[in-house]
Amino acid sequence: MRDTIKNHKDFFMTDSDPVALSPYFVVRAKMAKFPDDPRYGVMATKRTFKLAVQRNRAKRLLRDWIRFNADLMAPEYDYVFIARAGILNADRQSGRIAVSKALTHILHKYVKKIRSNETKNA
């Protein structure tokens, strides 16, 4: 299983990083800090979820959905999932489908371009 992002500074992203949107979350990807060991991080902010119970539930749901779709995560990237308010009304199946679509979007739109550029340069 993938290692998780625990260091605060590793959550920082730039505007040029790949992004995918969902009603339940936003996923941002950036080049992996350790290419052999890609990671993911989960965020649920106090601004979005006032109660700790809500933040914990949102993170728990995201982790479940990520584990289910771990094979779609490209090893070149570290991923940060940011929970949105709609996640509290989501069921397990629709969340897993949403993560699948978001990771597939990043894979097709960004990762394949990087891989094709690397093969051309080699």
In a domain, 79, yes or no: yes
Classify 72 in phi/psi space as left (phi over 0), alpha (psi -120 to 50) or beta. Answer: alpha
Q: Work out the average pLDDT over 6-20.
A: 75
Strands (E), 44-103: 77-83
Round to whole Å and give the CA distance between 67 and 116.
27
In a domain, 35, yes or no: yes
Residue 67: name the closest of 42, 37, 91, 44 by CA: 42
Q: Look up the CATH number of the domain holding residue 78.
A: 3.30.230.10
In a domain, 9, yes or no: yes
In a domain, 14, yes or no: yes
In a domain, 105, yes or no: yes
Q: What is the pLDDT of residue 33?
A: 78
In a domain, 116, yes or no: no
pLDDT tens across 64-119, in order?
999 999 889 888 888 999 999 999 999 999 999 999 999 999 988 887 666 666 66
In a domain, 115, yes or no: no
In a domain, 121, yes or no: no
pTM of the model: 0.84
Task: Domain of residue 21: give its range.
Answer: 3-110
Number of domains in the chain: 1
Round to whole Å and give the CA distance between 86 and 74.
26
Q: What is the pLDDT of residue 114?
A: 60
pLDDT tens across 15-64, in order?
778 889 999 999 998 888 777 777 899 999 999 999 999 999 999 999 99
Q: Which residue has the tokens 């119970």?
A: 53
